Amino acid sequence: MKAVILAANRSTRLSPFIQTRCKPMIRIAGQYILENTICYLREAGIHEIVLVVNHQQELIRQYFGSGQILGVNIEYVVQEELLGIGHALSLCKSSLEKKPFLLVYGDVMTDYNPFLSILQTYTELDREVAMVALPESSKEFGNVYLDHEMKISRLIEKPETDQANYVFAGMYVLFPKIFDLLNEHQQNISRCYEQMIETSGLQACLWEKGWIDMIHPWHILGANRMLMSSWETAQIDSSAKLLGHVHIEGAVRIGLNVTIESGTVLKGPCYIGANSYVGNNTLVRNFSAIGPGSIVGYGSELKNCVLFGNNDVGRLSFVGDSVLGENANSGPGLTTVNHTIDYKPVTCRSGATEVGTGLIKLGAFIGDSVYIGARHTLGPGTIVESGEIIPDSITL
């Protein structure tokens, strides 16, 4: 069986991190989303992958190449115009028209391998299968209703009111007849699913573990926390240098050629990527992921944050509940305030509108190649666009 992964789309709602990468190339808990997906597929016995690309496709091609490095074979299909999921899938017809295949949305994450479950359901029933999940909020997704045989009986595409309901989880086993349906319905994939439900039936495979669709920037923190929560043991590369007294608690993962100075406390789960440096008396708290090639200065504190890589956090800084893009640097004394003064849920800008995050604790989202000078304080939900330069805060 082959798998097709949709990795072409660009979502402005994930600003400031989407201008310089596609969503599947966001690094979560030390690994790209797409890399995590491909590893799950390989573990499930899927080695032939069709990858639909467009936005920032060069990053994908440079990192994954033919797929040999991960033990798979990757065929690239370019969606020149972003005309939706159905159109993207139709471009893959010549590679998929002979046998059933897996359709995977490239911007969803799970904490365990979902393909083992969906393939088991397909093997047992020999029919089309859709993975469904139960998120906290379902209004941004296609809501599905199930009958007593776990078949999908009804689909409502993005209902007006928010409710707790099952949703499509972005993973399907489909038969080649989907291409005839796409032609019939002008490449509208939702209408194809509806016809399948009304006629041949679409089986549900219920996913009851962690699941996140990457829509807004704070979902990066949620996905990072979800993946790290599944870690059970510490992993420290033999080349890492822990100088003097370094205190380690829990599932701490330390990569190749990392240097950690004396007095540092690491509270797992947390991750420190290859070739990074952590200065004296630093506190790295739970659910922090420091990307490769980063520097964290003396006396700093990191808490529930994601650094994409090649970051430099100045000494005596606090970075909490925040995300820093690649090559984002700050001078000494940066503070990301991670709650409002009255502890109300934080709102965050998405395009021209303010979006309620529902989170009490949320810091800043700092894009790629940003430089923030010394002694700055960023309020809850702050977004700093890629490439911005903020001078030092000099009072005299």
Four-residue CA torsion sign, 149, 154, 156, 159: negative
Cβ-based neighbours of 383, under 8 Å, separated by 6 or more: 15, 16, 217, 348, 349, 364, 365, 367
Pick the closest to residue 126 from 174, 190, 198, 75 (CA basis).
Answer: 174
Other C-beta atoms closer than 10 Å to the C-beta of 31 total: 15
**Spatial separation of the C-alpha atoms in residues 168 and 79, rounded to whole Å:** 23
Measured between alpha carbons, how far is 142 from 194 in angstroms, rounded to an integer?
Answer: 11
Which residues contact residue 11 at a Cβ distance below 8 angstroms, ignoring those fewer than 6 apart?
A: 18, 23, 107, 215
pTM value is: 0.94
Whole-number pLDDT of residue 161: 66
Q: What is the pLDDT, as a whole number, of residue 11?
A: 82
Interatomic CA distance for residues 220 and 12, integer angstroms: 15
What 8-state DSSP symbol labels residue 19?
A: T
CB 155 within 8 A of CB 190: yes
* Res 164: pLDDT: 61
3-class DSSP state of 244: coil
Per-residue pLDDT of the chain (396 residues; tens, 9 = 90+): 999 999 998 888 899 999 899 999 999 999 999 999 999 999 999 999 999 999 999 999 999 999 999 999 999 999 999 999 999 999 999 999 889 999 999 999 999 999 999 999 999 999 999 999 988 776 677 788 999 889 999 888 777 666 668 999 999 999 999 999 999 999 999 999 999 999 988 999 999 999 999 999 999 999 999 999 999 999 999 999 999 999 999 999 999 999 999 999 999 999 999 999 999 999 999 999 999 999 999 999 999 999 999 999 999 999 999 999 999 999 999 999 999 999 999 999 876 788 999 999 999 999 999 999 999 999 999 999 999 999 999 888
Integer Cα distance of 53 and 7 in angstroms = 5
In the 8-state DSSP scheme, what is residue 69?
G
Q: What is the phi/psi pair of residue 280, to 5°?
A: -55, 145
- Count of residues for the chain? 396
C-alpha of 187 from chain center: 27
CA 193, CA 182: separation in Å to the nearest integer? 10
Q: Which two tokens stand for residue 26?
A: 């966001």
Give the CA angle between residues 122, 128, 130 to the nearest 5°. 85
Query: Quick one: pLDDT at residue 396?
Result: 80
Q: Name which of 74, 77, 123 is nearest 100 in CA terms.
A: 123
Phi, psi values for residue 260, rounded to 5°: -125, 125
Concatenating the DSSP letter of every residue in 210-222 gives: -EEE--STHHHHH
Query: Quick one: which of 65, 84, 109 has its CA closest to 8?
Result: 84
Write down all domains in the chain, each with its CATH number in brackets. Answer: 2-215 (3.90.550.10), 229-390 (2.160.10.10)
